[in-house]
Each structure stands twice: as structure tokens, then as C-alpha cells.
Amino acid sequence: MFLIRSSLVLAGILLCTSGAAAPLAYVPNEKSATLSVIDTSTGAVLREFAAGKRPRGIAADPAGRTLFVTDAASSALLALDAHAGTLLGSIALGKSPEGVSASLDGRYVAIAVEENHSVTLVDAATRSIVADIPVQGRNPEHAVFSPDGRWLLVSAEDAEQVDVIDVALRKQVGSVAVGLRPRGIGFSPDGSRAYVACELANAVHVIDMAARRALAAIPAGRNTAGIAVHPDGSRVYASNGIDGTVTVIDTATNQVSATIPVGKRPWNMALTPDGGRLYVANGRSDSVSVIDTASATRIQDIAVGQLPWGVLIR
């Protein structure tokens, strides 16, 4: 599988492409301090634009017009115009913000702030902080909304649990024991299950959200890190940093159905809205691998910036 060295296209093409049916993939490159914008219909990198000094987590409003990107170096959440790449605003946060997620209704953005050991909740419309919520886990990495927006699940580097935040109450109300060093989190479409990648346990833990307990621990590869859940809920994808693979899990049986080689140190991932393609950020390969989910095969590698952290598709 060869690496596609896609040339950058003028900004005007990006504006035209934004109206097309195919969504765009946005990739924050932590070392390059840029965002790569990929046309998912062709695999071409349309543009790279500046994104602070050390971009990591990324989310967007429901319309895909505004991107929310954490800048670890400046301890801020950046609001960027998704088409032009211009800075719309900056929200000061605690030290070393990392993962960011947006509620499906677009009302809130949640940011895991590592060195504050907290989750910051931001009003997406006013871009103002509404709460800073301490959590039990040390050095939180991801804070992910449930589909109904009622809960946030929070993973942390120094933890063996995911913390549960009640969004309305603005506080942690519980935790669920999982494996050592939980990282990526994803929900089933109906919100009844959560899937947590546990890096040092080399496993994906399945959580019953109603009971707030783990139902299963599914062995994956070494240093399991990222999670993506298929839109129909039938499959979960877990990236394995040391192995350079993606594990495919059948959610009906909680069994591994395939293992797909990708680049070096695959990290966070995203699926196209139809679930047909999975985009995997390969942190040490400076690339994004594209997987055809129907055949469970890697079909393309796309060169991006240095140290890609994850992918957002809109």
C-alpha cells in the first residue's frame, strides 16, 4: 500500500467542495500546528491551515461551519471557520487541554483538561465557560457526550475507571471500573452501551450505561487507544498503537471479527456518516489510513502534517 502525496489545492476549491455531497475530514496535526482538510470522495488534501501551536482534540457544530480545536500549547479552545480556516475566537482553559466533544444538539462543547484534572463545559453559541467540573481520574484525555446529551464519560491517563458527569447537575455523579489507562470512548447509537479503549489492558471494555457497570472486556491489540462506533451500531473499531492495527469488534457477540494493518501509532479515528469509510490518524507515520468497512481492508494512505492526533468528519 503506497502513500499518496496529495498536493494542496487553492482555498477556492475548498469553498466549492464544501457544498458537495461528500463530507470533509479534518485532521489536527499536533507537531505541524495545522489542520489538514481531506475530500473524502477523492482522498485529496484540499488545504492545510494554521491551528494554534499544538492542536489536538477537534469537534464541530452540527452544521459543520465552526470547528472547535484544543490548543495544548496556549491552553485554549480555538473556534475556527471550517471553510476559511480563520480564527473566530479563543477561549482560555486550564493547562494542557486535550480531547473535545460536542453534544449532538450543538448546545455544549466539553473539553478534557489534563493538568487541571477537570472537564470544562462551554456554551457553543456564546463561546463562554459554563462550568469547570473536577473528576476523579488524573490527567483526563477524553470527555464524550452520550447521544442524548445527558451524560459525559471521561477517561484519564492515570485511572482504572471512567468518570460519569451529569451534564445538567454539572458534577461527577459516579464512575465505572474498566482497565488501566482508559482512552478513547464511543457510544452505541441508542446510548445504551459505551465502549472504552484501555491502553495498558490492551482491551475494549463494554459498559451498560443504565446499570453503570462493565459487561465485557474484549481483547484487542497492544496499546489500544482510539474508538469509533459504526452508525448502525453493529461494529466497533479500536486502534492499537504498538501493533499498528485496527481491531474490528462485532457488537452482537463482543468478538473480534477482523484486524486491519494501518500506519505507525494509530490514534483517534472517525467514520463517514454512512459508515462506509473509517479514517485513522497515524501519529508516527504522519498519515491517515482509509479503511473500507464493508471489506475490512485498508484502501488508501493519505499524507498529512506531523503527528496527526485524530480525525473529524463533517
- Tens digit of each residue's pLDDT (9 = 90 or more) over 147-187: 999 999 999 999 999 999 999 999 999 999 999 999 999 99
Inter-residue long-range contacts of 21-24, CB under 8 Å, 24+ positions, other chains counted: 23/64, 23/272, 23/273, 23/313, 23/314, 24/64, 24/82, 24/313, 24/314
pTM over the 0.75 mark: yes
Residue 280 CA to residue 184 CA, distance in Å, equals 13
Task: Please give the domain boundaries of the chain with CATH numbers for all domains.
Answer: 1-50+266-294+301-314 (no CATH), 58-177 (2.130.10.10), 178-261 (2.40.10.500)
CB 207 within 8 A of CB 193: yes
Residue 5 has pLDDT above 80, yes or no: no
Residue 292 CA to residue 262 CA, distance in Å, equals 12
Residues 59-78 have pLDDT tens digits of: 999 999 999 999 999 999 99
- pLDDT band for 12, please (50, 70, 90 cuts): very low
Residue 250 half-sphere exposure toward CB, CA atoms < 13 A: 7
- pLDDT band for 16, please (50, 70, 90 cuts): very low
Residues 101-117 have pLDDT tens digits of: 999 999 999 999 999 99
Residues 291-312 have pLDDT tens digits of: 999 999 999 999 999 999 999 9
Residues 222-250 have pLDDT tens digits of: 999 999 999 999 999 999 999 999 999 99
